[in-house]
Amino acid sequence: MYNNRAGAYILKHQYDLAMSDCNRAIAIEPRLSAVYATRGAIYYDAGIYDHAISDATKAMELDPKNAVAYASRGAAYLKKGLTRQAISDCTKAIKLNPNFAGAYINRATAYMHDRRYDEAITDCRSAIRVDPTYTPAYATLNKLVAKKRTIKESP
């Protein structure tokens, strides 16, 4: 119950209430992977990436098949400039759930930071293939195509 309500609070940008519900849920049942993943998302949105990584890691320990936790930790790693770890976690998320468009875009963003543009474009196209309504995939793809065009035009 608390985790579901925390998710609703996140959608309303009421992060303090969401965090409170996550902490209550963990106090009641400390083995719920989803609650740690949710709390990690709150930390991520707040820019507290070390805590986001810690909670995503805990979620993965409790449920090694939690693709969202891997993708979330990957995104937090990327914010800390840890591209290799971000790519590794996003790759694991995609292996666990090949239809997870967000994991493809997180990995595409990491590839882009690593100047691996062709791989990033491939991931954007994969995200669009699995979820044609996922608008971040189109935005990231457009950014990559423009970046690649700029590189080609440079002397």
pLDDT in tens, 60-89: 999 999 999 999 999 999 999 999 999 999
Helices (H), the chain: 2-11, 15-28, 33-45, 49-62, 67-79, 83-96, 101-113, 117-130, 135-153
Quote the mean pLDDT of the chain. Answer: 94
Mean pLDDT computed over 47-71: 97
- pLDDT at residue 154 in the model: 65
Mean pLDDT computed over 20-37: 94
- Express each pLDDT in 94-118 by its tens digit: 999 999 999 999 999 999 999 999 9
Domain ranges of the chain: 1-77, 98-155
Contact (CB, 8 A) for 36 and 61: no
Give the pLDDT band (50/70/90) at residue 3.
confident
What number does CATH give the domain 98-155? Answer: 1.25.40.10
In eight-state DSSP terms, residue 76 is H
CATH tag for 1-77 (out of 1.10.1760.20, 3.40.50.720, 3.40.630.30, 1.25.40.10): 1.25.40.10
- pLDDT at residue 152 in the model: 72
- pLDDT at residue 155 in the model: 63
- pLDDT at residue 149 in the model: 82
Give the pLDDT band (50/70/90) at residue 151.
confident
Q: Matching CATH topology for 1-77 and 98-155?
A: yes
8: amino acid identity, one letter:
A
For 82, other C-beta atoms within 10 Å of its C-beta total: 17
Mean pLDDT computed over 31-49: 94
Q: Is 117 exposed, middle or buried (0-12, 13-18, 19+ CB in 10 A)?
A: middle
